[in-house]
Amino acid sequence: MDTDCDCGVGRVGTAGSAPHRTRAAFGDMLLSRPQATPRGTERHHAMTEDHAPHGTTAGNVLADISNEMVRLYKDQFGRGPTRARTHWAGPDILICTLEDTLTAAERNLVKAGEHERLRETRLFFQYASVREFGEPVERITGRTIKAFISGVDTEVAGLSAEVFVLHPRNSDAPSRLEKVPQDNAVIALTSR
């Protein structure tokens, strides 16, 4: 699994294209971002040990979460993604992107133009499985989940993103997983 931090902040200040306007054009918005790097290189935020639980490294945490998400996709949808990457987006947010996640049946829905139906179905299954998605993240990071956000872009071979907003370290706030409906509530939802 590729777990490099790809924060998309390289080449800030390169003139010419809209995404790469100069620092002056954006004022205070970019003050906290890294300085520009030479054209053609990327700047990566360092994965600090502050992100990882005691006794582990940040790289291991990211790779372990990516591997768990691949396993979950295989279990939940019958096929795993071809690529998974997990990144920290600040001290309390993990984003796992998974590429090429659609099953053969889901690809047929795309061919039939049923993008909305596919998104609704996929998101229903993912939110019905919040506990399965969240438990490994809490176990690996040693932190509780504040919020879980899931998305899929059916126009791009099912590129999916699983976002986990974590409570700060040593927080007593309840885990999002405590708010998951019991199995009978999920069954009631599916029978509507």
- CA neighbours closer than 13 Å in the CB half-sphere of residue 95: 13
Domain contains 26: yes
Question: Are 72 and 36 part of one and the same domain?
Answer: no
**Which CATH number belongs to the domain containing residue 98 in this structure?**
3.30.1380
Over residues 26-66, the pLDDT tens digits come to: 333 333 333 443 433 333 333 344 454 544 555 699 999 99
* Pair (13, 104) in one structural domain: no
Query: Does a structural domain hold residue 131?
Result: yes
CA 29/CA 109 separation, integer angstroms: 41
Same domain, 62 and 131: yes
Amino acid at 92: D
Do 41 and 59 fall within a single domain? Answer: no
The predicted-structure confidence for 72-85, as pLDDT tens digits, reads as follows 999 988 899 999 99
Residues 9 and 80 in one domain: no
Q: Is the distance from CB of 88 to CB of 51 less than 8 angstroms?
A: yes
Question: Token pair 């986990």 is at which residue?
Answer: 164
User: Would you say 115 and 155 are in contact if contact means Cβ atoms under 8 Å apart?
Assistant: yes
In a domain, residue 50? The reply is no
Cβ(126)–Cβ(133) below 8 Å: yes
**Spans of the chain, pLDDT less than 50:** 1-50, 52, 54-55, 184-192
Domain that includes residue 19, residue range: 1-45
Which of 162, 173, 169 lies closest to 127 in space, CA to CA?
Answer: 162
Both 35 and 70 in one domain: the answer is no
Q: C-alpha angle 132/159/44, rounded to 5°?
A: 90
How many domains does the chain contain in total?
2
- Residues 26, 68, single domain; the answer is no
Strand runs (DSSP E) across the chain, as ranges?
83-88, 93-99, 145-153, 159-166
